[in-house]
């Protein structure tokens, strides 16, 4: 164990040392290496998504998203079924490799290490709305 907890490792049991280790900040060099690895995995995910677009979506698309793919543009909808399925698969990380899903998507410590936090405490869009005078005529 390479941590400052080596000093007290003889005093406390391993379970307590593991709990204390959760609250010790990550070393700066380790954090930078993990961030670089996360960036490489994300770039690999983007390449996988682009490969799936070129192989599965672009030849079968019939909507205006791919105007030069050689298909007859009979349907002038915003999106075709192929593009919609592609967008859902990208959103659900279907085309991403297993390493990306394991290290980034399913890792509970990813946001802590990468420095990304959810904006759950953001201001509501309708914070200014007041419905006290809604029934006045």
The DSSP call for residue 75 is -
Q: What is d(CA 11, CA 88) in angstroms, rounded to the nearest whole number? A: 52
Q: What is the DSSP string of 10-22?
A: TTS-HHHHHHHHT
* Residue 28 near residue 90, CB atoms below 8 Å: no
| Residue 129: per-residue pLDDT | 52
Integer-rounded Cα Rg, in Å, for the chain is: 25
Residue 80: count of CB within 10 angstroms of its CB: 20
pLDDT in tens, 44-94: 999 999 999 888 888 888 776 676 665 555 554 556 788 888 888 888 889
| Residue 46: per-residue pLDDT | 92
pLDDT in tens, 81-93: 888 888 888 888 8
- The predicted model scores a pTM of 0.61
């Amino acid at each position: 164990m390479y941590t400052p907890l080596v000093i007290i490792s003889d005093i406390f049991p391993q379970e307590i040392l593991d709990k204390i280790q959760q609250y010790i900040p990550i070393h700066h060099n380790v954090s930078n290496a993990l961030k670089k690895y996360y960036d490489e995995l994300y770039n690999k995910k983007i390449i996988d998504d682009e490969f799936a677009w070129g192989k599965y979506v672009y030849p079968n698309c019939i909507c205006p998203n791919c105007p030069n793919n050689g298909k007859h543009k009979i349907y002038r909808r915003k999106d075709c079924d192929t593009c919609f399925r592609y967008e859902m698969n990208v959103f659900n990380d279907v085309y991403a490799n297993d390493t990306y899903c394991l290290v980034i998507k399913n890792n509970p410590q990813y946001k802590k290490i990468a420095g990304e936090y959810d904006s759950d405490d953001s201001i509501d869009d309708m914070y200014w709305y007041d419905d006290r005078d809604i029934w006045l005529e």
